Amino acid sequence: MQNNQQTHYDAKTKQLICRGNWDINCLSDLQALLKTIAWPATGDVTLNGEAIDRMDSAGAWLLHETRFALTKKKLTVRQEKFTPSHEQLLTLVENELTEEPVLPTVSLPPWLASLGKRTVNQLNEFQAFLAFVGRLSTEALSIVFDATRWRWSSLAMVVYRTGYEALPIIALLSFLIGIVITYQMGVQLKNYGADIYVVDLLGLSVLREFGPLLTAIMVAGRTGSAFTAQLGMMKLNQEIDALDTMGVTPGELLMLPRIIGLFIALPLLTMWSDIFGIVGGMIMANSMMNISWYDFLHRFPHVIPLRTLLIGLGKAPVFALIIASIGCFQGMRVEGSAESVGRNTTRSVVLAIFFIMAADAAFSVIFSKLKL
């Protein structure tokens, strides 16, 4: 400390005579000392380092900052009588502080490597999804014969929310779809005088394809996203961890009631959708092609076999399992922040709709091979 107090500025020779230790231990004292110096307005200033006993990077940084501040005042600064080791340290610090940092350049992988990476990531996620479904299936088998472990209140609530509360929007959507299909087909059939065949086309398209498919897509956007968001927020709030701590598995308490509830509700919603789709088509056929309600209802059971309805209803449980399992899986993969909830919710809806379409295409091929 005493040596550092001998560091002083000689106004006659315009020299900063540095003495003692210029290191991290004396840095605050040296900074305070330099602030008290009355530097000249113009001319040259010399930094004399002959009497410095020891210097580390902190002292070298302070000398560099002092020199930089004097240079900004339009003063010419010279360094004299520093030992070679001190000169080397000053040069090293100056280079580190003045050189622009060179950021590493990241070259984008070629499109084939990028495609391969995305494919591997998708396969890994699909493998994790299969493992998730396997664990849930094992857990479902363990409680299927034990009625005391069934969450009846949770199951009833899921059926109410996914089924009963969805009735108005499903009815409106199906009614409008029936109107649109009848109008589009009716325009073409009128050109050939085959108006009555609109009953055949409407019944086949609504009962076999549009009813179950559009209902599943609507439920995927409404219910699948809700499953993901609910489970995701519970995971962020560490409620899932709390259940594990209490010895209650999230699958038994949270996921199985949702999956089973939607498994029950979606076929009923599909039947509801079929009814309003046919009603919408019947109203349009009556107003556009003058097909009376009696003629429509009289022809309908003769040209539309019962298996058409059963095929459409048979798709609904499969669609329900797809929607519920993907929604729960994506909800359990939420991590980090609320942004992850939104991202996984979107991903849940997109994947559910994609697999619904894929499953429907597979059903079409299978039924075609079976001549159904």
Question: Tell me: the pLDDT tens digits for 105-159?
Answer: 666 667 777 888 889 988 998 899 999 899 888 888 888 777 777 888 888 999 9
pLDDT at 61 over 90: no
Mean pLDDT of 279-308: 89
| Residue that finishes a domain, picked among 98, 116, 151 | 98
Could you give the 3-state DSSP secondary structure of residue 268?
helix
The pLDDT assigned to 206 comes to 92
Same domain flag for 19 and 147:
no
Contact 20, 55 (CB under 8 A): no
Residues 86 and 164 placed together within one structural domain of the fold: no
Is the pLDDT at 102 greater than 70? The verdict is no
Number of C-beta neighbours around residue 250 at 10 A: 20
Of 83, 98, 113, which residue sits at a domain end? Answer: 98
- Three-state SS string over 47-106 comes to EEEEEEEEECHHHHHHHHHHHHHHHHCCCEEEEECCCHHHHHHHHHHHHHHHCCCCCCCC
- Establish how many alpha carbons lie within 13 A of residue 152's alpha carbon, considering only the half-sphere containing its beta carbon: 3
Please state, in angstroms and rounded to a whole number, the distance separating the CA atoms of residues 119 and 347.
Answer: 16
Q: What is the pLDDT of residues 315-358, one digit of tens each?
A: 999 999 999 999 999 988 888 777 888 888 999 999 999 999 99
Q: How many CA atoms lie within 13 A of 312 on its CB side?
A: 27
Has residue 165 got a pLDDT over 70?
A: yes
User: Looking at the structure, do residues 150 and 93 belong to the same domain, yes or no?
Assistant: no
DSSP result, 142-192: HHTT-GGG--HHHHHHHHHHHTGGGHHHHHHHHHHHHHHHHHHHHHHHHHT
Which tops the pLDDT comparison, 309 or 82? 309
Higher pLDDT, 168 or 290: 168
What is the Rg, in whole angstroms, of the alpha carbon atoms belonging to the chain?
39
pTM for this one? 0.67
Phi, psi (degrees; rounded to nearest 5) at 150: -80, 135
Q: Mean pLDDT over all residues of the chain?
A: 85
What tokens were used for 144? Answer: 């299927």
**249 and 355 belong to one structural domain:** yes
| The one-letter amino acid at 120 | V
pLDDT > 60? residue 262: yes
pLDDT of the residue at 3 = 43
Strands 15-22 and 44-55: parallel
**Cα–Cα nearest to 351, from 363, 343, 339, 362:** 343
- Whether residues 299 and 202 share a domain: the answer is yes
Do 67 and 203 share a structural domain? no
What is the residue range of 223's domain?
143-369
Looking at the structure, tell me whether residues 70 and 212 fall in a common domain.
no
Confidence (pLDDT) at 1:
40
Specify if 46 maps to a domain: yes
Residue 2 has pLDDT above 60, yes or no: no
Domain boundary (63, 79, 98) is at: 98
Q: How many Cβ atoms from other residues are within 10 Å of residue 310's Cβ?
A: 12
Instruction: List the CATH number of the domain containing 58.
Output: 3.30.750.24
pLDDT at 173: 93
Coil, strand or helix at 22: strand
In a domain, 133, yes or no: no
Once rounded to an integer, what is the mean pLDDT over residues 287-311?
A: 88
Q: Are residues 94 and 157 in the same domain?
A: no
Phi/psi for 75 (5° steps) reads -95, 150
Which of 100-104, 113-117, 120-124, 189-193 has the least mean pLDDT?
100-104
Number of domains in the chain: 2
